[in-house]
Amino acid sequence: MPTVAILGEFLDATLDVANIPDYPNALNGVQLANVGDIDRVTTAVDFSTQAIDGTIAADARLLIVHHGMFWSGIQPITGPAHQRLRSLITHDIAVYAAHLPLDVHPQLGNNALLARRLGLEPSAGFARFQTVDVGLSGRSDIATADLADRLRTLASEHRGGLVATPFDADRRTRHWGICSGAGADSATLREASTRGLDTVIVGEGPHHTAVEARELGIVVLYAGHYATETLGVRALGESLAAHFGLTATFIDAPTGL
Ligand SMILES: [Zn+2]
């Protein structure tokens, strides 16, 4: 059975971690080592007590997450943070995190899988971050209301809901953009306008993005940060498990957002 070093190397290579920029706190790659070999892995959107407890219950030795151990920044290892670390080390569980490298991956990425799930065919990128397009865009001819229904279904599978900026019942989406998670901000909306997009699908965004979208004639569909980022990490775990003959379990821990 493989070690965390072998699995980490494979994941780093699969996701091209070395070449994809990210926020410093993402700290993509192996975040916590373990000692023993690994025959079971778990995946979760967020590093959390629930994800760790699920990993212990699954008797797994590697937890793969999208938002890693250092997402909230530098903190004292006391209280719940101490308990999380103690549980991981006691049960010999390693942690691997993949943020933007997972969002952008053409097969296993959150955005590619979200587009597929919605029946949309990407033809270009969207949501530029430094040297990469984190999101995707493409052409379609679909009722915006139908797109909203599909997103509402995804959100409801994870105890979330859909928020949409107002649009007419007969409106059609002909040029869409997707950026999972916190995908809506002033910069992405300006980019959407420049690219000629009429509909932007994201997880979440601040209130002012809804105001700006309306000014630009763009509809934004906010399907929930959590729900839009369940697809990638799950697919990554399954791909890793298939390659090494392991078992992978997705731990669904909805945040409601
Ligand atoms: Zn996210």
The stretch 189-198 carries a mean pLDDT of 98
pLDDT for res 178: 98
Give residue 181 CA to ligand 1 midpoint distance, Å: 4
Question: Looking at residue 253, what DSSP letter applies?
Answer: -
pLDDT of residue 136: 98
Q: Specify the residue for token string 């270009």.
A: 124
Strand 29-32 and strand 94-97: pairing?
A: antiparallel
Which one, of 12, 1, 6, 68, lies nearest residue 38 by Cα?
A: 1
Do residues 105 and 133 lie in contact, with contact meaning Cβ atoms separated by under 8 Å? no
Instruction: Compute the distance between CA of residue 100 and CA of residue 172 in angstroms, rounded to an integer.
Output: 30
**170 band by pLDDT with thresholds 50, 70 and 90:** very high
Please state, for a pLDDT cut of 90, what percent of the chain lies above it: 99
Q: What is the 170 CA–ligand 1 centroid distance (Å)? A: 32
Which whole number is the average pLDDT over 212-219? Answer: 97
Confidence of residue 155 (pLDDT cuts 50, 70, 90): very high
Which among 250, 242, 17, 235 has a CA at the least distance from the CA of 113? 235
Asked whether 156 and 116 are in contact (CB, 8 A), the reply is no
Distance 226 CA to ligand 1 centre (A): 7
Q: Look at residue 78 in the predicted model and tell me its pLDDT.
A: 97
CA 225 to ligand 1 center in whole angstroms: 6
Q: How far is the CA of 110 from the centre of ligand 1 (A)?
A: 10
Q: What is the pLDDT of residue 130?
A: 96
Distance 182 CA to ligand 1 centre (A): 6
Ligand 1 mean position to 213 CA, how many Å?
Answer: 21
